[in-house]
Amino acid sequence: MIFDLIKERRSIFPPQFIDKPISKETIEKILEAANWAPTHKKTEPWRFKVLLGEKKKELGAFLSNKYQEVDANPKQMTIKKLQFNPSNSGAVIAICMQRDPKESLPEWEEVAAVAMAVQNMWLCCTELGIGSYWASPGLIKFMDEFFDLNEGEKCLGFFYMGYFDGEVIPSARTPISEKTKWLD
């Protein structure tokens, strides 16, 4: 049931991933779910770049090198994490947004559409037993140096994916009644 799936969705982080590849067919299925997200004025602003194999390691090297270049006091732990997360993932999907060239709607609506596409991906991953995590490090503003982005396209983060062992820890939420006002 969809309500159970929504409640089960969690961030599963790259250190939890096991060495098991994710098939191209599975990734395509997950991306197809993303493609059915709501989109105002049908701009379909989501764009994805799927990194597998050596390209994941190249991303890790780029991120760690860029971090060392731009941070006055780079931390060794962060350098290692930036290299490890992509290489330990079964796949990394760069989450990008293509701005409507006519700017026929506010940018936040296109960002929201991309976020809904990612939520569709996340729910599919949950159903398929694939761990996933959306990271949006400050370094994403430099991704035009790594990817060939179109004019008006920008990277909003990375969707790390991988099979994992272990139990998913249930999360708690404050009751919705504390966040809702009913107006008659």
Q: What is the predicted pLDDT for the residue at 1?
A: 85
Which residues are 134's β-sheet partners?
159
Q: Is domain 13-165 in CATH 1.10.645.10, yes or no? A: no
74's tokens: 């780079």
Query: What crossing angle do the helices spanning 107-128 and 24-34 adopt, rounded to 10°?
Result: 140
How far is Cα 162 from Cα 88, in angstroms, rounded to an integer?
8
- CB-based contacts of 37, cutoff 8 Å, min separation 6: 46, 113, 114, 116, 117, 119, 120
The tens place of each residue's pLDDT in the chain, 184 residues long, gives 899 999 999 999 999 999 999 999 999 999 999 999 999 999 999 999 999 999 999 999 999 999 999 999 999 999 999 999 999 999 999 999 999 999 999 999 999 999 999 999 999 999 999 999 999 999 999 999 999 999 999 999 999 999 998 888 878 899 999 999 999 9
Determine the 3-state secondary structure of 158 from DSSP: strand
Domain ranges of the chain: 13-165
